[in-house]
Amino acid sequence: MESILFIIKSIILGIVEGITEFLPVSSTGHLIIFQNLIRFNNGTSSSYVEMYTYVIQLGAILAVVVLYWGRIKNTLINFFPKKVGYEKSGFKFWLTICVACIPGGVLGILFNDLADKYLFSPYTVAITLFFGGIWMMYAENKFRNQKHITRNLNITMKQALIIGSFQCLAIIPGMSRSASTIIGGWIAGLSTVAAAEFSFFLAIPVMVGMSLLKIIKIGGLSILLPIEIISLAVGFVISFIVALLVINRFINYLKQKPMKVFAVYRMIFAIVVLLTGAFGIFS
Whole-prediction pTM: 0.91
Alpha helix (H) residue ranges in 119-191: 122-143, 157-167, 177-188
Calculate mean pLDDT across residues 258-276.
Answer: 95
Half-sphere exposure of 237 (CA within 13 A, CB side): 9
CA atoms 34, 36, 40, 46: torsion sign: positive
* Structure confidence at residue 86 (pLDDT): 46
Calculate mean pLDDT across residues 130-155.
Answer: 85
* pLDDT digit string, tens, across residues 178-187: 999 999 999 9
* Structure confidence at residue 35 (pLDDT): 94
Calculate mean pLDDT across residues 155-167.
Answer: 94
Q: Indicate the burial class of 151 (C-beta count within 10 angstroms; 0-12, 13-18, 19 or more).
A: exposed
* Structure confidence at residue 82 (pLDDT): 67
Q: Is 80 helix (H, G, I), strand (E, B) or coil?
A: coil
CB atoms within 10 A of CB 85: 9
For the cut 90, the answer to whether the pLDDT of residue 48 exceeds it is no
* Structure confidence at residue 148 (pLDDT): 62
As a whole number of angstroms, the distance between CA 68 and CA 166 comes to: 24
**Which of 231, 221, 129, 107 lies closest to 173 in space, CA to CA?**
129
* pLDDT digit string, tens, across residues 100-110: 999 988 888 88
**Rg value, the chain, Cα:** 19
* pLDDT digit string, tens, across residues 76-107: 888 877 665 445 688 889 999 999 999 988 88
As a whole number of angstroms, the distance between CA 182 and CA 234 comes to: 30
* pLDDT digit string, tens, across residues 224-263: 889 999 999 999 999 999 999 999 999 999 988 899 999 9
For the cut 80, the answer to whether the pLDDT of residue 61 exceeds it is yes
Confidence bin at 214 (pLDDT 50/70/90): confident
Q: Could you give the percent of the chain with pLDDT greater than 90?
A: 63
* Structure confidence at residue 113 (pLDDT): 79
